[in-house]
A and B are shown apart, each in its own frame.
Chain A
Amino acid sequence: MTWNWKTGGVALGLAIFIAVLLVKPIGVSTQFVIFDAMVADKINPDLITPTDDGGWTSTNAYLAKSDGKYAKNAANPLNYSFIFVLAMMAGAGISAWLRGGNGKEDNRIPALWRANFGDAAWKRNLAAFGGGFIVLYGARLAGGCTSGHMMSGLMQTALSGYIFTVGAFAAAIPVAMMMYKKDVEL
């Protein structure tokens, strides 16, 4: 069901290569901001506004930075990066469906979590929510995530990719070693 590391590594390598061959390196975390901006602009239409010279800007300094790059993408959802992320979800969904899914129990609480922290879904959901908050705050502070900094960055020999990767694992390894004492056979 899960490809072994050699098959998987070559397949993932080809996928990130095809992205840079045809368009540009992959990246995901920016689209959380774009989605937030789309929703916020629906609630407050003054958030994102066109400029006199045909561009876009925002009353939010982050959306307005780099000549309103994010404001522009939030105003035009049919752009490459946003559709890329939706297509990624579709591709992953199709793959999961073709292999028969993860099973009802694992969809509720993953096996490793259950072995270490028990069967209360609220605990798992709270950890996922809190983890998500820190992950995306960190990704935006870093200017990219595991996709943009780690895979694309290291592939391109970017200094920023190395700095990010060292930071991410310097935190992830000790935190996980403290949290997950019990192993599971998957």
Chain B
Amino acid sequence: MAEIADTDLKKTPLHALHLELGAKMVPFAGYDMPVQYPTGILKEHLHTRAAAGLFDVSHMGQAFLSGNDPARALELLTPTDVVGLGEGRQRYALLLNDCGTIKDDFMVARLNGEAALYLVVNAATKDSDFAYIAERLKGLAKLVPQPDRALLALQGPKAEAALARHAPDAASLAFMQVSRMDVAGRPAIVGRTGYTGEDGYEISMAAEDAEPIARALLAEPEVVPIGLGARDSLRLEAGLCLYGHDIDETTDPVEANLVWSIGKRRKIEKGFPAAEKIMDAVLNGARRRRVGLKPEGKAPAREGTEIADRTGRVIGRVTSGGFSPTLNAPIAMGYVEAAYADDGTEVNLIVRGKACAARVVPMPFVPNGYKRK
């Protein structure tokens, strides 16, 4: 049975390279993906924080949104300020459903001199996102998915040095800037962004250019390949949400502490799904909040762990939790009732029936290294 299912898994253009590098492959969002290389998650994680790591994120969904005014159209589905997005810039955005809960989180970019917007959405949700956007914006904008593009992330304090040897213009980008440029002599879209909290880039290219570009970057002395295991522990340290875990169609932007992604103009003009309800929560507070949690002991509190107050009453649940290689200690994030969301609040995490003392802490757990110029 398992073997039959495995053949149904999709492969990224770097699949053969992962096998060549000795990756341990696992099914993820319908793809056969590397969870780790022989180096192991712990070393891969620490290497990314110290030097640079290369991630294959080609399973993510890429698309162009064209039309008369695709930014204005997209604002019908997101509270992000897309109209005000400058050329050569990208932004984090939430895709909302009609109830104002989170259908996905994604990146939107406006490339220099191009009318179409460039979108990157999550792998597990890409088909439903694309169907939703196409259907809801019918007549206003045209969504063109890019299934034949690959996506690499090069992350870490030495990412700039490594990439600049193959794409000198990459060095002049600041955090959240994006531009077309050649990488190792092949055309690519390079954005200074990522999902690790480090400085770094996401590099989109045609499928056939992925392997030559990946090999060129892996040949740099700073760069090692990094699997999905370390990608998850890195983003957790950075306090970044994982869709389907920390945010989903049961959470709204206020509870999720993502109000910063709502544009100032949008807060006044509204015109996004469930805008009245969301703005009411912005002003009057949400019933619960997403917070960072730091256990006092050594036991990791995994997703699903109950959060209780010191009297034992359950006040929430962990949505992502594990071990921080950088801090050499457990960390977690989860939702708690609003009264318990202040930094420093003492709570208990119920790990295998035992109450483990923890505190609400600010995120990120590890300071980020973004290059804001």
Does A pair with B?
Answer: no
Residues of B near any A CB (own CB < 8 A):
none
